Structure 1
Amino acid sequence: MADWADWSEDEYVQYLQDERRRFAWVMQRYGGLKAIQAEAAAVQHYPFEASDAPYRGLVFHDEAWHWAMLKIYGERYWIQHPELVEPQAEYRALD
């Protein structure tokens, strides 16, 4: 993964928005949340971090799919739901 300190502010904000969108999509599709609830959950999970925050962007070390699955199904979701280990094609199509 990239060194977030080297990213411009615009690059960071764009990546943040993209991950929020993906997280919200999973929360709607698999978590049953309404759009507004899913968007709020995404903002909560991916808060904006100031450029001088010591671990800015650390949440990006795993993709939104993984974080949303943890939120919906809990730790070790991949054991109870092995079909959800890899993101579905619809998720990949969001890009």
Structure 2
Amino acid sequence: MADWDWSEDQYVQCLHDERRRFAWVMRRYGGLDATQAEATALRQYPFQASDAPYRGLVFHDDAWHWAMLRIYGERYWTQHPELVEPPADYRALD
């Protein structure tokens, strides 16, 4: 189990931020409406109790990567090299 060494508030904020980014990508690139995108983001980033094994492991890659995998599948970067790095609009979400 990884020691993320963050407070509950920090975990919840990170979860919120990644959900927001993931939903943005699903709307922009995945063609989902806002409701569908938010529901998909909640499934991708469920809240995990503080004692859950591997809590927060999903954060080892950012929302951009997880959304691209969902939309384009494994090895999306080989078929869509232009999507390896997120655009400025995505980075501006921070």
TM-score normalised by structure 1 residue count: 0.96
Q: Which amino acid aligns with 2:79?
A: Q
| 5+ long unaligned stretches in structure 2 | none
Residue correspondences, number? 93
Task: Deviation per CA, 1:1-56: give whole Å up to 9, x if none.
Answer: x942x110000000000000000000000000000000000000000000000100
Whole-angstrom CA distance in 1 between matches of 2:68 and 2:62: 10
Task: Say whether 1:18 aligns with 2:3.
Answer: no
What is the RMSD computed on CA atoms of the aligned residues?
A: 1.0
Give runs of ≥4 in structure 1 deviating > 4 Å.
none
Show structure 1 runs of 5+ residues with no match.
none
TM-score normalized by the length of structure 2: 0.97
Structural mapping, 1:39-78, within 5 Å: 39-78=38-77
